[in-house]
């Protein structure tokens, strides 16, 4: 029982660290752990309700921090904005992608670390284009491609950060899980 509590608290701690990291000023845009947290939660947390709620809480908490910083002129990123619910919906989609990882292997972690950010990039840029054309992009196929092109720097950083943070999250989980197995055997 004690090992199970250790794992739960470790997961909660990792998610809190992730949400605090997200609001660090001057970090490259798109380089954040949230997509990795979403994939990790979807793949590892067996209770699907908590697998969805914990990463969403992490995202909401970091948005609260952003809002606090913005309100007190400590940052230039608002915590809450119109249409933000769509971002949470797309983020939930990445959690659901994590549910599809039936076996946790290095190959699957790498593959899902590519699939999650790619699905998020394609859907979020499409929603931006549909919702207002991006940065004045016309509602044409060419405008859609321009909107995707505008998002490539964010996508690149998103891929890199998801690969790195998935390595950290799944690696930490593996070490904690193996320690738990060792405790259970003794």
pLDDT tens digits in sequence order for the chain, 186 residues long: 344 676 667 777 877 888 788 888 778 888 999 999 999 999 998 889 989 998 999 899 889 998 999 999 988 888 898 888 999 999 999 999 999 999 999 999 999 999 999 999 999 999 999 987 667 889 899 999 999 999 999 999 999 999 999 999 899 888 877 666 544 443
Locate 117 and state its tokens. Answer: 């950010």
Residues 6+ apart with CB under 8 A from 57: 15
pTM of the predicted protein model: 0.88
């Amino acid at each position: 029982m004690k090992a199970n509590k250790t794992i739960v608290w470790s997961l909660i701690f990792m998610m809190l660290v992730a949400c605090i990291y997200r609001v660090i000023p001057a970090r490259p845009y798109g380089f954040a752990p949230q997509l990795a947290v979403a994939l990790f939660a979807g793949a590892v947390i067996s209770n699907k309700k908590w697998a969805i709620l914990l990463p969403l809480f992490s995202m909401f908490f970091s948005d609260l921090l952003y809002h606090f910083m913005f309100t007190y002129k400590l940052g230039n990123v608002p915590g809450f904005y119109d249409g933000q619910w769509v971002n949470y919906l797309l983020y939930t989609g990445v959690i659901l992608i994590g549910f599809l990882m039936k076996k946790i292997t290095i190959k699957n972690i790498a593959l899902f670390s590519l699939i999650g950010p790619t699905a998020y990039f394609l859907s979020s840029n499409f929603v931006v284009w549909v919702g207002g054309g991006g940065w004045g992009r016309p509602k044409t196929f060419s405008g859609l491609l321009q909107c995707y092109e505008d998002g490539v720097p964010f996508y690149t950083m998103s891929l890199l950060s998801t690969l790195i943070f998935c390595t950290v999250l799944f690696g930490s989980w593996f070490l904690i899980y193996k320690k738990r197995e060792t405790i259970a055997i003794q």
